[in-house]
Structures are given as C-alpha cells and as structure tokens.
Amino acid sequence: MEHHPTPFLVPLQEHRKRRCHPDGFTDARPLLVPDIRSHSVLAGCWYHAENRNITLGEYKFGPLFVRLCYELDLEDSAVELIKDQHLQGFFSDSTSFNILMDMLFIKGKYRSALEVLIEMKNQDLKFNKDTYVLAFAICYKLNSPESFQICTTLREEALIKGEILPRRASCFAVALALNQNQVAKAISIFSQIMNPESIICTNLNIMIHIQSNMLKTLIDILKDATEGNLSRFVKRHVFSEEVLVKVREKVKDVPALLAEFDELNKKLHRSGQVTAYTLDALLCHTPSDRQSYTVLLNKRTVSRRTFQPLSQSLWAE
C-alpha cells in the first residue's frame, strides 16, 4: 500500500482538541506510535503553538521526547527530528543532544553521533561538561584525521573561552592523538590534565612513553609502582594487561630492560595491580556514581512548568 505522509500542519486542529497534561507526559507516549515522525512532529508544533505565550519556567519538552526515543530504540528517527528545520527551538538545550549522542554512542553509531554533534554546534548551543566528554569520545571512536581535527578544534575553542574541560574528556583527546600518531599533541594535552592519578591516566602515560621511545623512564615508572607503599589502604597504580603487553613488545630487543620488565611484571601481578580491562574499555567505562535519569526524575516533586506539586497519578502512569 502506498504511504502518504501526514501533512505537516493540516491535522493540527485535531491535536489541539487533545489536552496535554501540564507536565507534558500524558500524551507524549501515545504520540510516538504508530508513526514516530509525523505524530511527534505534530505534537511538537502543537505544543509550541499552544504554549508560545505561556510562562514555562525551566520546563523543556525536548529532553523528554529524546528520552522516550532512547527507551523505545528510535534513535534514527530522533536524529532526523533533531535536525529538522521546522523544529528549531524544540530541542533548544544541550540535554536533548547529549541524550541522543549517548544513545548513538552506546549502539556504536559513531558517524550519526558526530552528525548530531555538528548539528548542535551549528545551532550554537552551549556545550556543557557532558557534551565535551561525549564529543571527544565520539571523535576517539571514529579515529580518523577528520575526527582528530574536530576534537582539536573543539578543545582549542573551549580553552580560549576559559572553560575547564573534564579529565575524562581530556583522556579521550590524548588517546585519539596517540591513535593518530600525534605524540607531541598527546603529551601537550596530558600535561594539562589536573590530578592525573586515575587508572586511565596511568595507562595513557605508559602509552605516551611507549610511543615516545622513552624506555628507561618507562621502566622507572613501573618500578616506582611496585616499590611504593603496598598497604591495602593506600591507592596503588593499576595497569592494563594490554598495555603491559605493549611495554614488553617495546623492550624485547633490549635484554637488560626486558629482564627488568619481566621481574616488575611479576610483582605487579602478585600485588593485584594488573587489570584485564583494555585501555579502550577503561576509557568507555561509565563510572558507577553517575546517577541515571530515572533516579533524578524520581527525586523531582514540583512541576518545572507550573511550579505546582506533581500529582501521584502522574507517577502512577
């Protein structure tokens, strides 16, 4: 059967007859089926038409819609809508873009995630700390000269504005520079990381020394890690097995260093300072202290649109 798309504005009057709950939740889910694009576009247009002159407080509809797409695995439709010129202003916040980029990143759709990032940049939306982490992670995964240039440009623009980039974002930038054999750039970025004591920074530092051929210093770092305070109450450096394999490969042609490394490697394993996680796995691991959107949502008791107490029936739905 031939499909005729729903005209963009013709059915608007029909949607106006339906009253959306003050917090935007009640009619949102039904509008997502059966035609995610036409119905959700109409819902967005109707919402703006009906509420243009109403005080909205801090309420934004965009993140809710993208979150629904997240839950229903409709990321491709969300990408189309977030780039739709008719919906300019509907996704006028960084949260909508961050949720979508996160969804695409998790599903390995890095090229689509980059498109969303570029669209966010074109709309001149402010990047927050989460945006920079996602942006640099996407560029790292794409691992191309183009993505390296994008990452470098975003980082330089942020520094010019005086923004402090999250350590995790900088780690992705360092890893990308190393993957692109831009060792000098990796060293420069790493030197600007405040408090580089994390497991990721420890292993990135080793990779920098490997690619810089600083073999003696490399062995000294491992030696310091084994000779420090071995009390279980003191945080010790932990090394990726994958990274240690690369160290051994690098020093294998220098017998003295190879023998010393093998001894240090045994000590690190005995003291529990070696992890099976790869550097990539460590970089992409989500910290356990990050609260989910659901947890944050459940803490809210006052409507961000009307500033009235949220009804219990709303949460029941």
Which one has a higher pLDDT value, 53 or 267? Answer: 267
Say if residue 317's pLDDT is above 80. Answer: no
| Residues 207, 212, 217: CA angle, nearest 5 degrees | 80
Cα(65)–Cα(72) distance, integer angstroms = 11
Q: Is residue 113 part of a domain?
A: no
Q: Is residue 246 part of a domain?
A: yes
Q: Is residue 209 part of a domain?
A: yes
13-59 pLDDT, tens digit per residue, is 444 444 444 444 444 444 444 454 445 544 554 555 455 444 455 55
CB atoms within 10 A of CB 124: 6
Q: Is residue 130 part of a domain?
A: no
Question: Percent of the chain having pLDDT more than 70?
Answer: 69
**What mean pLDDT is reported for the chain?**
79
Cα(159)–Cα(111) distance, integer angstroms = 25
Region 261-285: what's the mean pLDDT? 96
Q: Is residue 234 part of a domain?
A: yes
Range of the domain at 257: 197-285
172-199 pLDDT, tens digit per residue, is 999 999 999 999 999 999 999 998 989 9
Q: Is residue 273 part of a domain?
A: yes
Q: Is residue 70 part of a domain?
A: no
Which one has a higher pLDDT value, 93 or 24? Answer: 93
Residue 229 CA, distance from chain mean position: 35
Q: Is residue 169 part of a domain?
A: no
Residues 6 or more apart whose CB falls under 8 angstroms from that of 237 comprise: 199, 202, 225, 228, 273
Cα(15)–Cα(19) distance, integer angstroms = 8
* Count of domains forming the chain: 1
Question: Percent of the chain having pLDDT more than 90?
Answer: 55
Residue 164 C-beta-side C-alpha neighbours within 13 Å = 3
User: pTM value?
Assistant: 0.76
Distances (CA, A) of 259 to 112, 216, 255, 301: 47, 13, 6, 63
